[in-house]
Chains A and B, each alone.
Chain A
């Protein structure tokens, strides 16, 4: 009860906080894409007027005209010390620095194949029978030559092997389908949510209560370990499952060295295809690297099995431990901000 009150107060206070800054604000926007974004934004605004949502409450969403849903957990505004130093911390986790964040909701679970396959294939989303103008205007993944779950399982399992661009476009697609604004979390938002008010996001039962990692994820079919159905370990204090382990999660940020100064709603806008910051560790990582502060830098080698030129902007053929989840900011940003979150502009690989 007390926590809930704090959350509400924090959310009110945060309305004063600065919005995300754009180092590349002068970049040209594609008019056609901007029009698509504005149409989705108008849809969201209309939807929010009809069903206002208290930013302190969690809720469930079912993607309209499907049986697939997901939960959203409220993440309070607040301030925390991001990063780590000392024993066990890698050099890139420092220097620790203070970060202040606005409130948002976060998906309680990693995005599943059940949802992601509907984005990959319009027929799976019922959009062939029931075309939607908002969705028709969006770009969708090309059909992959490889089988992208690599036999690790679809129903109820986290989606893997997608690029950061694909995760961004999924967020746009889901926003159009549901009338709620989604995007990838920034690296700071991700770490803040992972910690959930505790130093490491882990309860008294220890890491194994919460995380699938290399030490506990083998199965009869996968002697080397594999991902597991979402939500089969305990959630953290804010109701988020699998933040640690199972699959790593994309963030919105370019991977870059930390700096010591205090920051508000930091977003390290990408100017290069690699590296982006990936968080949380996976079934393929040693337990010591499955922490709220461990950072992974994406690499071009994650597309090694793609023999084409250009390499696909949709699939990471060699990242069978890489997924994502989305956030919904409590305050709807401008169309331009939404555009920037859904279009990194650096989705093509160097060659």
Chain B
């Protein structure tokens, strides 16, 4: 029987509610093993959601649409009101509202762990990226299938933790699908297959743009509710803090970083030099509003990844993949390949499908068939490609892939508690900032 977080919580303090539900969930978790891989699965799949914002709610909707026998049973976020809003909305769906059976709603920094241990089969991880390594590791340790949004970390130690979790998921044969959605887009799949099949000859260079408006601009400090702790205020405005979002290059332009790595068949670059900065006041946040990262890959292949988040400027998200025999263009209508003399050699034909839904169709289909999909290692490598570009800009240094992979600089505040004091560091200064 579904109970709403609100009615469950009505008669108790928030803290007590978490404690009590946590205890009950612990009992359920003792009954694990859940879904066994290697054989088809026919029973209802219980889904848990960590991070109930718009993207998390969207992922839950896609999970419930992907498979008629899925149920959303547990949700987590830092705040009861956010959970309640998402639950109310999901329950209101004509298509899947009846399968929103939230027995457990958890609030707070450690709520993710309670969802993982509430008897779910599949975890949807959609909290801010800074939390992903911790959430993903806990989910895989508890033998859960996972959908993990991009990017997967905001610093190098986080990327390494995710790499270990991905390997463990493979060893355990758990399904793991990443939110690098373009890999699930038939239009771009066909375009990149053309490149891999030699349609543009030998690769020369790739110019990739993510020029957009600001995503979630920082509100003024005056809007901060009285008594709200630093960490909670930063989480509520997570996009504006590097430890939470990874900065614009890592949080948004990482989609292009993923296409760069996809074209390279996920083989890493040698090194990167980058510039970046902030032209519009940060309003208390500490992310840049523009970057340009120049990567060197083997065989002299050069990749230029540029992003900007400013209003009133030229905007475009394009990829120009240049080879000796042609150029692949992504982002100007249908993907197409032009020869050096401007003739259209290939163009995508057909219907583009919904890549966000496709991710979940693949995830749940693979669990059902007993052949869990877990080859999305690019969750870590594509994140690191963007991250090394960011760190090269922050530091003003040339960085190698190995330097970036092995960096020990951790951005996560300690202690990680909602009420803790944490003054966010100022904007990085190239030549002084260490990465």
Contacts and interface: CB of A to CB of B under 8 A. Distances in A.
Contacts of A304: 352, 354
Interface string B207-227: 000111111110000000000
B197 interface: no
B254 to A, nearest CB: 12
A43 B311 CA distance: 29
Interface string A137-166: 000000111111111001000000000000
Contacts of B347: 223-224
A221 interface: yes
Interface of A: 117, 120-121, 123-124, 143-151, 154, 220-226, 304, 306-311, 320, 350-351
A217 to B, nearest CB: 11
Given A223-B338, A310-B89, 9 more contacts: A121-B312, A123-B311, A143-B213, A150-B317, A150-B331, A222-B333, A223-B333, A308-B54, A350-B94
B362 interface: no
Contacts of B311: 117, 120-121, 123-124
Instruction: Name the residue in B61, B62, B217 with the highest tally of chain A Cβ atoms < 10 Å from its Cβ.
Output: B61
A143 B217 contact: yes
A306 to B, nearest CB: 8
Interface string B385-413: 00000000000000000000000000000
Contacts of A121: 213, 311-312
26 contacts: A117-B312, A123-B311, A124-B311, A143-B213, A144-B212, A144-B213, A145-B252, A147-B317, A149-B315, A150-B317, A151-B315, A220-B342, A223-B347, A224-B332, A225-B333, A304-B354, A307-B55, A307-B58, A307-B181, A308-B55, A308-B57, A308-B58, A309-B57, A309-B90, A310-B57, A351-B61
Nearest to B90: A309
A143 B218 CA distance: 12
B344 interface: yes
A320 B356 CA distance: 19
Contacts of B318: 151
Nearest to A306: B58
Interface residues of B, number: 43
B312 A222 contact: no
B185 to A, nearest CB: 10
Contacts of B315: 147-149, 151, 154
A223 B55 contact: no
Contacts of A124: 311-312
A221 B318 CA distance: 11
By secondary structure, the B interface counts as mixed
A351 B54 CA distance: 14
A151 B317 contact: yes
B368 interface: no
B60 A151 contact: no
Interface string B315-340: 11110000000000001111010100
B94 A143 contact: no
A307 B63 CA distance: 12
A224 B334 contact: yes
A309 B60 CA distance: 9
A151 B312 contact: no
Nearest to A155: B314
Chain B CB within 10 Å, residue with most, of A120, A147, A225: A147
B6 interface: no
Nearest to A114: B312
Nearest to B317: A147
A150 B316 contact: yes
A146 B315 CA distance: 10
B93 interface: yes
Contacts of A310: 54, 57, 89
A220 B336 CA distance: 13
Nearest to A312: B54
Given A223-B336, A308-B58, A351-B61, A146 B317 contact: yes
Interface string B166-202: 0000000000000001000000000000000000000
Contacts of B334: 224
B93 A351 contact: yes
A128 to B, nearest CB: 11
A320 B181 CA distance: 20
A309 B58 contact: yes
B320 to A, nearest CB: 11
A146 B316 CA distance: 9
A143 B316 contact: no
A240 B356 CA distance: 40
A14 to B, nearest CB: 42
B90 A147 contact: no
A-B pairs with the 4 shortest C-beta distances?
A: A151-B316, A308-B54, A224-B333, A309-B57
Nearest to B311: A121
Given A223-B333, A307-B58, A309-B61, A145 B212 contact: yes
A219 to B, nearest CB: 10
B15 interface: no
A154 B213 CA distance: 13
B89 A309 contact: yes
B95 interface: yes
Contacts of B86: 309
Q: Which of A224, A225, A309 has the most CB of B within 10 A?
A: A309
Contacts of A223: 332-333, 336, 338, 344, 347
A307 B212 contact: no
Contacts of A147: 210-213, 315-317
